[in-house]
Amino acid sequence: MTRPAGPHRPVGAVTRGTTNPNRLRRMDRWIAATHAIALRRNTAAPVAVDLGYGAAPWTAVELLQRLRTADARCEVVGIEIDPARVAAAKPYERDGLTFRHGGFEIPLARRPELIRAANVLRQYDEDEVAAVWARLCGRLAPGGLLVEGTCDEIGRRHVWVALGPEGPRTVTFATRLGSLERPSDLAERLPKALIHRNVPGEPVHAFLRDFDRAWAAAAPFAPLGARQRWIRAVGDLAGSWPLVDDRRRWRQGEVTVEWTALAPTFG
């Protein structure tokens, strides 16, 4: 359960803290590629938060490097609810990179342009997710972005939701194509808001079913490589699902779908 804030108590609960270098590279590159204009919109240096970076600071260090390919002024603040992890990360601080004790309240004087929360909500109950999303989105700067999702421990498979101050916008599926047997393999990395909804009758289940069928139909492209097969399968999906990206992103082993098409069916 989410731990409430007291006078000196951050909001949230300590995560497992598992982290590896390059684990979040797919998410980082997507953010830098698709939201560079939004990051550069403000005259001040964009501020990004790596929320719940874990037992080691690698993901925050890498986020700064990747965001600076989009805007050299970017600053990153790593926020962790475990004060021991913050203390361990302090030696890695440098220009544009700091670490702070906190949680979902995002204890910054200035609202960030980006909050990335990867593998943070996995341990929470599904019915807690909406409140956490609302709280985090409420801390964003105007036009800001929250990216919340889950990946495996070495970053081969990843699914994330992108949200603005108004709420969820899109869902992105990203994978190392050479490791994929079928698109529904990504189901195990669905974020908490969707992972229990991968059952018949729910939109996300129908999407993955159709994706598997398109993948099977694209088998003749397999001799050309997994990338060409993926591009063909995603292209077929575009005829029946509201995809919001194009071949440039599909070539990276990604596909992004409007949230409204995959949102859980309640009741």
The reply to whether 2 falls in a domain is no
CA gap 215, 226 in Å, rounded: 10
The reply to whether 230 falls in a domain is no
The reply to whether 137 falls in a domain is yes
**Number of domains the chain is built from:** 1
Find how far residue 249's CA is from the centre of its chain. Answer: 15
Q: What is the pLDDT of residues 52-109, one digit of tens each?
A: 999 999 999 999 999 999 899 999 999 999 999 999 999 999 999 999 999 999 999 9
The reply to whether 246 falls in a domain is yes
| Beta strands at 157-164 and 97-101: parallel, antiparallel or unpaired | unpaired
Residue 17 is predicted with a pLDDT of 67
pTM of the model: 0.94
> Residue 173 above 60 pLDDT?
yes
Distance (Å) of CA 170 to CA 15, 47, 111, 143: 25, 22, 22, 15
The reply to whether 87 falls in a domain is yes
The reply to whether 13 falls in a domain is no
The reply to whether 128 falls in a domain is yes
Domain containing 70: what range? 25-176+242-257
Question: What CATH number did the domain enclosing 45 receive?
Answer: 3.40.50.150
Structure confidence at residue 37 as a pLDDT band (50, 70, 90)? confident
The reply to whether 150 falls in a domain is yes
Residue 1 is predicted with a pLDDT of 38
